[in-house]
Chain A
Amino acid sequence: MSAITGEQAISTQRSGLAGRISDFFWKHPHVFLAVMLAPPLLWLGIIYLGSLLALLLQSFFSIDDYSGLVNYEFTLATYGQLLNETNLDIIIRTVCMAAIVTLFSALIAFPIAYYAARYARGKWKALFYLGVMLPLWSSYLVKIYAWKLILAKEGILTWLLTKLNLLWLLDAWLSLPVIGGNSLSVSYTGTFIVFVYVWMPFMILPIQASLERVPVNLIEASSDLGSTPQQTFRHVLFPLALPGIVAGSIFTFSLTLGDYIIPQIIGSSRLFIGQAVYAQQGTAGNIPLAAAFTVVPIVIMGLYLWAARRMGAFDAL
């Protein structure tokens, strides 16, 4: 009896269901946390990781060549198929494209991000954000078709180069093996340009954020310690911006690895991983091979992150 009155002296019981639930959570914060976190965790666990595992599982099945049905028995045959010449070609092509796109995105994005982080103020900063974000607001397909028109043989780029008497330059470029072609819109160069354009914001913004977080006095201390601007860049600014560059490259690299629309519309007709997945799970109906193809970018990204970590890309975090 006395225990009950004691308890009531501390927490006056609220009436009503809502009040009692609220009291319960107040007294049991762990339960509250669990209730709050359960839905998103379940979503992440089941919908996201679950489907990823299902995908992984699919890749260890094979397809019966005669019936075209999936044979639900564990086998590495599909992976063997993945590594045959045609498919390996697709993988190498895609990875090279992703690597080059990432490299050039970083090279172009860094100065822009640097300017925005260190020098742009007020109005110019707003303009920078607008300029970087604006392309993200328009439809992806519209942008790609716009580029198709720009890069086409009768397009504005050819016209401009003709006016500038530089058409020979374009022709020389297009006559190069592998990266050349009939026109930019049907060459790897065209695919590359559009990839770089479309993913650029994903590279600029993380680099800009990381540069913005570098305290000014670290730069000042460096010049006080006798560094030339080049040394400051190499030993201070670049290492501190590296997590941002890695974050940006994760975007550009993985987005290029997975994209199947840009190479479809712009470029030579040779397949990229995304297109291969699309074809295998659609017309060819080879779900296991499609699954095996999708495992490739996951593995590559895993290796990439591991290597970046080993090289100390995240030391400054």
Chain B
Amino acid sequence: MATAVELQNVVKSYGNLQVIHGVNLTIDPGEFTVFVGPSGCGKSTLLRMIAGLEAISDGDLLIDGERMNAVTPSERGIAMVFQSYALYPHMSVYKNLAFGLETARLPRAEIAKRVLRAAEILQIEPLLNRKPKQLSGGQRQRVAIGRAIVREPKIFLFDEPLSNLDAELRVQMRVEIAKLQQRLGNTTIYVTHDQVEAMTMADKIVVLRDGRIEQVGAPLDLYNHPRNLFVAGFIGSPKMNFLQISAAEIEVDADATGSAAGRRPDIPMTLGIRPEHITIDPNTGAALGPLKVVLVESLGGQTVVYATAANGQTITVVLDGQVAVGETLEAFFDPAKAHLFAADGNVMTGARLPHIIKLV
């Protein structure tokens, strides 16, 4: 049975500097959770507090309902995979894998059995007698994962495990880690600053900024219903377009939620439209006006178009087919797929857009 993790008002301070400001989070058993956010937002710190490598300044960490704040790392039932692998240079791959079992004084035969099984799962059997410095980056990464697997932990923790690999290997290892987690079924917490990794691997994404949770949800949840400008801009690639529009033009339902109540007609609002939701099909919803194409990235089937709107703002559009620089596009979008953000950055629901958008 997999393990649940719960953070209750967790705070981390280094001296007077508070870097995690009261995080509340529940991770369900067997879930693949990804902490994502820009560099320095506190992802590693949060993970290391769960691992027990960093003391928790305030609040509680519960693993399977038990308070773990004062429990040593080795007794939390976790195994961590470090960004720089942290393999022991003076030990062979076999020794590296066996290390955590030898310190636990497991019988030799049991150690051998587990190491060989992990090696088989990760396909590193031929490497067992090598030293880490004789391995490629991807192989080292596998050994580091193997070292976590052999301990048969309740929870896997990964801290940006792929950021030292090249792009191609990264994609491959991404798939492998996700498959491995499905196969083993362990609760897993995975830290990355790469939203593509988060989107492709996670059951649940936790978006962090400056030591606070911005939003928690399934990948498509965050994509379809970002709660604020930060999440909207962080999730999705290419980035969502943010357009300033006049609040006076927007009708608001009586039962509107969010920041609608505090809306002021004289303060512009932000309209968020994903590049892939802008089309040149005039039958689609609202008109965005003419866009002048200034730069084109052709990916073959799709084209990423960077264009300027009437008010001079750059708008990114992903189109099927091909477009030439200098062309002018009449752009449209489906208001149902657009997002409206109030001046405080929070999303606003229950608002109706006019048929033609005037940018300010």
- Closest A residue by C-beta to B53: A220
Known: A224-B74, A226-B151. A231 touches B84 (CB 8 A): no
Can you list, as one digit per residue, whether each of B61-102 has a CB less than 8 Å from chain A (1) or not (0)? 000000000001110001110101010111000000001100
Which residues in B have their C-beta under 8 angstroms from that of A226?
A: 73-74, 100, 103-104, 151
- Decide if A223 touches B84 in the complex (CB within 8 Å): no
- Chain B residues with CB under 8 Å of A215's CB are 84, 86
CA distance A235 to B74 in the complex (A): 16
Pairwise interchain contact A221-B103, C-beta atoms closer than 8 A: no
Which of A217, A236, A240, A315 lies in contact with B82, CB distance below 8 A?
A: A217
B53 adjacent to A224 (CB under 8 Å): yes
Does residue B51 face the partner (Cβ distance < 8 Å to A)? yes
CB-contact partner of B74 in A225, A240, A312, under 8 A: A225
A217–B90 CB distance below 8 A: no
- Is B142 an interface position by the 8 A CB rule? no
* A225 contacts B53, C-beta separation under 8 Å: no
Q: Are A223 and B90 in contact (CB under 8 A)?
A: no
Q: Is the interface of A mostly helix, strand, loop or mixed?
A: helix
Q: Is A225 touching B99 in the complex (CB atoms < 8 A)?
A: yes
**A224, B78: Cβ atoms closer than 8 Å:** yes
Within 8 A of B (CB), among A271-317: 312, 315-316
B147 at the interface (CB under 8 A from A): yes
Docked CA distance A196–B103 (Å): 36
CB of B84 within 8 A of CB of A217, answer: yes
Min CB distance, B151 to chain A, in Å?
7
Contact call A240/B90, Cβ cutoff below 8 A: yes
Q: A215-B84, A235-B99 are in contact. Are A225 and B151 (CB under 8 A)?
A: yes
Task: Give complex CA distance A226, B75 in Å.
Answer: 7
Q: How far is the CA of A224 from the CA of B82 in the complex (A)?
A: 11
Chain A nearest Cβ from B70, distance in angstroms: 15
* Chain B positions 295 through 309: 1 when the CB is less than 8 Å from some CB of chain A, otherwise 0: 000000000000000
Any chain B CB within 8 A of the CB of A146?
Answer: no
Contacts of A217 in B (CB 8 A): 82, 84, 86
Instruction: Please determine whether B100 and A225 come into contact, CB atoms closer than 8 angstroms.
Output: yes
> Does A227 reach chain B (CB closer than 8 Å)?
yes
The contact string, 1 if C-beta is below 8 Å from chain B, for chain A 163-193, is 0000000000000000000000000000000
Q: How far is the CA of A300 from the CA of B74 in the complex (A)?
A: 45
Q: Shortest Cβ distance from B84 into chain A, in angstroms? A: 6
A235 CA to B102 CA in the complex, in Å? Answer: 11
B103 and A228 contact, CB distance less than 8 A: yes
Cα A161 to Cα B79 in complex, Å, equals 54
A223 and B99 contact, CB distance less than 8 A: no
- Which of B78, B79, B90, B104 interacts with A312 by CB under 8 Å? B90
Q: How far is the CA of A225 from the CA of B157 in the complex (A)?
A: 12
Closest partner residue, chain A, to B74 (CB atom): A226
Q: Is A218 located at the chain interface by the 8 A CB criterion?
A: yes
**Bound: A240/B87 CA distance, A:** 12
Q: Which residues of A contact B90 (CB under 8 A)?
A: 239-240, 312, 315-316
Contacts of A236 in B (CB 8 A): 88
- Taking a contact as CB atoms under 8 Å apart, the answer to whether A224 and B84 are in contact is no
A227–B98 Cα distance when bound, in Å, is 12
Report yes or no: A224 in contact with B51, Cβ–Cβ below 8 A.
yes
- Given the interface pairs A217-B82, A231-B103, A235-B99, the reply to whether A223 lies near B73 with Cβ below 8 Å is yes
Instruction: Report B276 CB to chain A, min CB distance, Å.
Output: 39
| Contact present for A223 and B74 (CB under 8 Å) | yes
Contact B151 A240 (CB under 8 A): no
Query: Which residues in A have their C-beta under 8 angstroms from that of B99?
Result: 222, 225, 227, 235
A239-B95 Cα distance, complex, nearest whole Å: 14
* Closest chain A CB from B63 CB (angstroms): 15
In chain B, positions 119-176 with a C-beta closer than 8 Å to chain A are: 131, 147, 151
CB distance from A277 to the nearest CB of B (A): 39
Are B72 and A223 closer than 8 Å at their CB atoms?
yes
* Chain A, Cβ-Cβ closest to B104: A226
- A316: B residues at CB distance < 8 A: 89-90
Chain B residues contacting A225 (CB-CB under 8 Å) are 74, 79, 99-100, 103, 147, 151
Bitwise, A228-242 to B at CB < 8 A (1) or not (0) is 100100011001100
Smallest CB gap from B76: residue in A: A224
Among B82, B90, B104, the most chain A Cβ lie within 10 Å of the Cβ of B90
Q: Which single residue of chain A is at the shortest CB-CB distance from B157?
A: A224
Contact (Cβ within 8 A) B80 A221: yes
In the complex, how many angstroms separate the beta carbon of A234 from the nearest chain B beta carbon? 10
Beyond A224-B53, A315-B89, A315-B131, 4 additional pairs, beta carbon < 8 A: A217-B82, A224-B51, A225-B147, A235-B103
Sample of 29 A–B contacts (CB below 8 Å)? A215-B84, A217-B86, A218-B88, A220-B53, A220-B82, A221-B147, A222-B103, A223-B73, A224-B73, A224-B74, A224-B78, A224-B80, A225-B74, A225-B100, A225-B147, A225-B151, A226-B73, A226-B74, A226-B100, A227-B100, A227-B103, A228-B103, A235-B88, A235-B99, A235-B103, A239-B90, A240-B90, A315-B90, A316-B90
Can you list the 8 inter-chain pairs with the closest CB atoms, starting with the nearest? A225-B100, A226-B74, A221-B86, A217-B86, A316-B90, A227-B103, A315-B90, A239-B90
